[in-house]
Amino acid sequence: MKKSEYQAQVDSLLSAIKKHVSGSGIDLGVEHHNSLLVVLHWIDYLKKSELTGCCDEILDGIRATAVEASGCIALGLIRPAIFALRAQIDATVAWLYFKDHPKEWDFLIRTGDGFKSRSEIIEFLTKFVDKFGSRFSILSAHKLRKVDQPYRLLSAHIHGQSTLVIPTFQKLEAMVYAEKQCKEAVSLQAEVSEYVSDIFLAYFASKWPSLPDEILKPVKSRVPSEKHAKLFS
């Protein structure tokens, strides 16, 4: 491809982005921000109350993936937004594990080896963190999200192992998705936000007196009151 031909594609991409931003982009960005507020409240709480001095930067990484997803959705770039949404979940479980495993974290940083998958960490938390499994079961039984495991849905998009999710771009401008698909990504952020919050709450529910109302109110409104004692014990 000649430079002039590629330049024409880049120009078309920029034009498509500008059209999207001037249309629904800003409103989509605001909607996205509102859909992840509970995650931001968790990060603020954890940075004030639960830092261990090990891998604290992962919490900043969760906030960064939120910024990344917001920017991508505002620009209409849904494929990279999907990666950022899944990274929120990966970073959440990684912090819960490595915050109490400084030797493993140091080894990971030094060697680039020793990564833990989401499923490995969830299995670890269920086995070794008292009541994590029972709390998460209660929260999952009274979820508002449409899917139990947003991570699986996001992974399906990323791995592209179905004709429903395989990208079909032929030109750069096709990377900018229609408003309807962008709204679906915002809805998916809401699903991820609830899932991330449920993971954190399953871990920290016994500390409910110190948790912000912005975290507790949505949970108490969807979980029947007769289950609150078991959830927050």
Tens digit of pLDDT for each residue in 172-182? 999 999 999 99
Residue, of 102 and 165, whose pLDDT is higher: 102
Split into its structural domains, the chain has a count of 1
Percent of all residues in the chain with a pLDDT value above 70, rounded to a whole number? 97
The confidence score (pLDDT) of residue 159 equals 76
Residue 158 in this model has a pLDDT that exceeds 70: yes
Amino acid identity of residue 90, one-letter, is D
Residue 229 in this model has a pLDDT that exceeds 80: yes
How far, CA to CA in Å, does 202 sit from each of 15, 35, 44, 205?
Answer: 45, 20, 18, 6
Cα gap 141→219, rounded to integer Å: 12
Cα gap 187→49, rounded to integer Å: 30
Beta bridge partners of 176: 77
- What mean pLDDT is reported for the chain? 95
Residue 163 in this model has a pLDDT that exceeds 70: no
For range 114-138, the mean pLDDT: 97
pLDDT tens digits along 17-29:
999 999 999 999 9
Residue 125 in this model has a pLDDT that exceeds 90: yes
How far, CA to CA in Å, does 9 sit from each of 126, 160, 199, 216?
Answer: 50, 24, 43, 48
Residue 165 in this model has a pLDDT that exceeds 70: no
The confidence score (pLDDT) of residue 1 equals 82
pLDDT tens digits along 35-86:
999 999 999 999 999 999 999 999 999 999 999 999 999 999 999 999 999 9
Question: At 216, is the pLDDT very low, low, confident or very high (cuts 50, 70, 90)?
Answer: very high
The confidence score (pLDDT) of residue 74 equals 96
Residue 190 in this model has a pLDDT that exceeds 90: yes
In 10 A of CB 109, how many CB atoms?
11
- pTM equals 0.95
Q: Could you tell me the residue range of the domain that residue 137 belongs to?
A: 3-231
Question: At 169, is the pLDDT very low, low, confident or very high (cuts 50, 70, 90)?
Answer: confident
